[in-house]
Chains A and B, each alone.
Chain A
Amino acid sequence: MKWFKKKKDKKNNKPFARDEITRGLLVFAHPTTVIAVEELLRDEGYEIRVVSPPPEYRTGCDLSVEFPLKSEAAITELLHSVNMVPLDVVPITSRGMEPLQFIRTKDYGDYLMVRAANMKITVDKRTKEIVNISGGGCPDVPYLATAMIGKRLRDAPDPGEIAFSLCAYSLNTAKEELVKMIGD
Chain B
Amino acid sequence: MLLLTGSVPVDGLPLLTGEIGISDTGITIDGRPLAINRGCEAMMKAASLICRELGADPPHGLVAGDIGKRDGSEKIYHHLIEHLPAMEVDILTFHYMMPDLKLNKKVLAAIGTMARRPVLIADAGSMYVAKAGGDAASYDVFTPDLGEAAFLADDKADHPTYTRGFIFHMEHDVPELIRRAYAGGNAPPTMFVKGRIDYICQDGKIVDTIDEPMVETMEPIGGTGDLITGMISGLIQAGKTPLEACRIAGRVNRRAGELTRPTPATQVEEILHHVPRALSEVLRQLAAAA
| Number of A positions contacting B (CB below 8 A) | 47
Q: Which residues of A contact B133 (CB under 8 A)?
A: 60
Query: CB within 8 Å of A: which of B55-78?
Result: 66-70, 72-73
Cα-based distance from A106 to B72 in the complex (angstroms): 34
| Number of B positions contacting A (CB below 8 A) | 62
Q: Which residues of B contact A167 (CB under 8 A)?
A: 160-161
Q: Which residues of B contact A99 (CB under 8 A)?
A: 161-162
- Closest residue of chain A to B165 (Cβ to Cβ) is A102
- The reply on B163 being an interface residue by CB < 8 A is yes
Cα-based distance from A146 to B222 in the complex (angstroms): 11
Cα-based distance from A164 to B267 in the complex (angstroms): 24
Cα-based distance from A102 to B171 in the complex (angstroms): 12
Q: Which residues of B contact A166 (CB under 8 A)?
A: 159-162
Closest approach, in angstroms, between the C-beta of B64 and any C-beta of chain A?
9
- When the two chains form their complex, are residues A137 and B219 in contact, meaning their CB atoms are under 8 A apart? no
Identify which of B99, B219, B265 contacts A120 (C-beta below 8 A).
B219
- The reply on B39 being an interface residue by CB < 8 A is yes
Given contacts A102-B165, A139-B96, A142-B38, contact A108 B220 (CB under 8 A): yes
Q: Which residues of B contact A113 (CB under 8 A)?
A: 219-220, 264
A-contacting 9-mer, from B122-130, B182-190, B206-214? B122-130
- When the two chains form their complex, are residues B125 and A117 in contact, meaning their CB atoms are under 8 A apart? no
**Told that A134-B221, A139-B96 touch, could you supply 13 new A-B pairs with CB distance under 8 A?**
A61-B128, A62-B159, A106-B220, A117-B147, A132-B221, A132-B265, A134-B38, A138-B98, A141-B39, A142-B8, A142-B96, A145-B37, A145-B38
A contacts, CB < 8 Å to B = 30, 52, 58-63, 97-100, 102, 106, 108, 111, 113, 115, 117-120, 122, 124, 131-143, 145-146, 163-170
B contacts, CB < 8 Å to A = 7-9, 11, 37-40, 66-70, 72-73, 96-102, 104, 123-129, 132-133, 145, 147-148, 151, 156-165, 168-169, 216-217, 219-225, 263-267
